[in-house]
Amino acid sequence: MSDIDRRTFLTVSGAVLGGIAAGTTVTAAERTDRFIVETNGAGVPSEVEVVHQLPSVGYAVVTGSESTLEQSKKVQGCAADIEVRLDDPDVNAEVPAFDAADYEGQPGDFLQWDKADLNVAEAHETTEGDGSRVAVIDSGVLETHPDLAGPLNVDLSLNFTDDGGDHNPVGGDDHGTHVAGIVAADNGGGIGVNGTAPQTDLVDCRVFSGPTASFADIIAAVVYSATPENERIIVNGERVTGADADVANLSLGAYPIPRQGLGEFYGSVLNSAMTYANNEGTLLVLSAGNDSANLQQDKNFISLPNEGAQGLSVAATGPIGYGWEADDAESPPESPAFYTNYGTNDIVLGAPGGDVNLDAIGTEVPWFNDLVFNTVFSYEDTDGDGEPDTQVPGYGWKAGTSMAAPNVAGAAALVKSANPDYNANQLESALKRAADVPDDYDKKFYGGGYLNVLDAL
């Protein structure tokens, strides 16, 4: 099985959650010094150190002794935090570097089949997303990228990890930069790429430190994204005002997680955060996963966060044969990507995330044109010591439900811009009402249907 049929995803090990199915390729480790604590407003013992304080959902993240927490009357329940490793599909690593000379004579937006299929340029005649705000909870957004410097709100962007850095990516991980571009790239200087909502206010919430992320940091980022600007929470020991985002994109996930055991505790924490976000008006847009799994029939396991409460789960679609110098693509942009998770009641919408013909990899045909093209960066050695030291902005392709979700998040930002009074439920309803299941395709890949930006407006 090729790695393209696994999403850029997070999977927790059986040692942590008990009984994870064999064959998972990514593991997580319990942090014996860091705990998620259910407080219900009672505070935490003075003997532990608070990392994140999230009173609006009744949880805190602390470092200290497990025995101290177990003996405290203030603590209603607790579990070790988990660090989870990111596994990018191998196909994304096989994509060649973009060379503009290869596309000389083509229109500037030729490679962005996703935006063309969604009629984004026409939607921009109504709104480009001004007045809306989107949080991207991911690996960090490169603030020096010319297509992202405009929409990125550096003042509100935060690092939720404990690595001591700022919100920018660590090393060469450009996953979050690509996701952010799909949402909000503003074609900097007229020579770059377009996002769906280039005038939205973009907030970067970095939860990855290299290849790993903390479950607790992801929860803190969700709560921060939804917290009103006139309220404060504690992030990494510092009191900060909320981001008050209208939409938050989470192109990450854990699967398969047993529904019983410690999975229940982590699920409860997540559902509390997601319900809080929904109540505060923040629509959570979630990647469905790249496991080719029927989530509706997988009753003993759950995929998080996309099967959590109050979230909009997005499956991926994509063409086969786009720009291959043939008269017609083999498959249209709305056809389900072969790697996408599915399930009629578990998917809310389908949206462009890219597809791939595995037999074409390594041949002379431009198979990568079927992936989603947007902002990336390369990690280069500029001082000659043989070690990469500089993140150089650029453009490139990636595939996954990680790319489908931000297409929906950007569309939600446009709807919010056109309807400032809409809450999270109304944003989702507008997107679902506008969507239809494409002819000749199964509803299980689309839920409510294929994203239709124009009709949603």
pLDDT in tens, 340-389: 999 999 999 999 999 999 999 999 999 999 999 999 999 998 889 988 98
**Residue % of the chain over a pLDDT of 90:** 67
* Sequence-ordered list of residues with C-beta below 8 angstroms from that of 204, at least 6 positions apart, any chain: 135, 136, 138, 140, 141, 143, 152, 157, 158, 167, 176, 180
H/E segment holding residue 37? strand 28-38
- List beta partners, residue 314: 287, 349
**Residue % of the chain over a pLDDT of 70:** 89
- Provide the 10 A C-beta neighbour count for residue 234: 17
Average of per-residue pLDDT across 40-44: 78
- C-alpha 313/C-alpha 325 separation (Å) is 34
Q: What is the pLDDT of residue 327?
A: 56
**More confident of the two residues 220 and 289:** 220
Which is nearest to 219 in space by CA: 111, 61, 346, 342? 61
Tell me which CATH homologous superfamily contains domain 96-229+244-456: Peptidase S8/S53 domain (3.40.50.200)
Average of per-residue pLDDT across 433-446: 96
| DSSP type of residue 225 | H
Average of per-residue pLDDT across 210-235: 95
- List beta partners, residue 233: 240
CA dihedral 122, 126, 128, 134 (to 10 degrees): -110
pLDDT in tens, 274-312: 999 999 999 999 999 988 999 988 878 888 888 888 999
Chain center to CA of 196: 15
pLDDT in tens, 168-179: 999 989 999 999
Residue whose structure tokens are 């970095």: 206
- C-alpha 55/C-alpha 40 separation (Å) is 7
- C-alpha 92/C-alpha 107 separation (Å) is 24
186 falls in which pLDDT band (50, 70, 90)?
very high
Is residue 178 within 8 Å of 185, Cβ to Cβ?
Answer: no
261 falls in which pLDDT band (50, 70, 90)?
low
Q: What is the pLDDT of residue 1?
A: 26
Least confident window among 53-62, 118-127, 292-301, 377-386: 292-301
Is residue 8 within 8 Å of 87, Cβ to Cβ?
Answer: yes
pLDDT of 446 above 90: yes
Is residue 338 within 8 Å of 354, Cβ to Cβ?
Answer: no
Average of per-residue pLDDT across 312-333: 87
- C-alpha 160/C-alpha 218 separation (Å) is 8
pLDDT of 420 above 50: yes
Q: At what angle do helices 401-418 and 175-184 cross, to 10 degrees?
A: 30
- List beta partners, residue 204: 136
- C-alpha 338/C-alpha 290 separation (Å) is 9
Q: What is the pLDDT of residue 262?
A: 62
Q: What is the pLDDT of residue 101?
A: 79
Q: Which amino acid is at 76?
A: Q
Handedness of CA 210, 212, 217, 223 (dihedral sign): positive
pLDDT of 266 above 60: yes
Query: pTM here?
Result: 0.92
- C-alpha 55/C-alpha 296 separation (Å) is 33
Average of per-residue pLDDT across 214-232: 97
Q: At what angle do helices 401-418 and 424-434 cross, to 10 degrees?
A: 110
Q: What is the pLDDT of residue 190?
A: 78
437 falls in which pLDDT band (50, 70, 90)?
very high
Average of per-residue pLDDT across 442-451: 97
- How high does pLDDT run on average in the chain? 88
Q: What is the pLDDT of residue 103?
A: 80
Diameter of the chain measured on Cα atoms: 70
Residue whose structure tokens are 């985002």: 245
- C-alpha 221/C-alpha 205 separation (Å) is 6
Least confident window among 76-90, 247-261, 387-401: 76-90
pLDDT in tens, 141-152: 999 999 999 999
- C-alpha 438/C-alpha 352 separation (Å) is 13
| DSSP type of residue 375 | E
Q: What is the pLDDT of residue 295?
A: 93
pLDDT of 11 above 60: no
- Provide the 10 A C-beta neighbour count for residue 384: 7
Length of the chain (residues): 457
Least confident window among 251-265, 289-303, 379-393, 441-455: 251-265
Q: Which amino acid is at 135?
A: A
Which is nearest to 178 in space by CA: 334, 405, 382? 405
- Provide the 10 A C-beta neighbour count for residue 1: 9
What SS3 class is residue 290? coil
**More confident of the two residues 326 and 71:** 71
Q: At what angle do helices 262-279 and 424-434 cross, to 10 degrees?
A: 90
pLDDT of 226 above 70: yes
Which is nearest to 206 in space by CA: 260, 140, 299, 111? 140
- C-alpha 442/C-alpha 344 separation (Å) is 9
- C-alpha 130/C-alpha 289 separation (Å) is 30
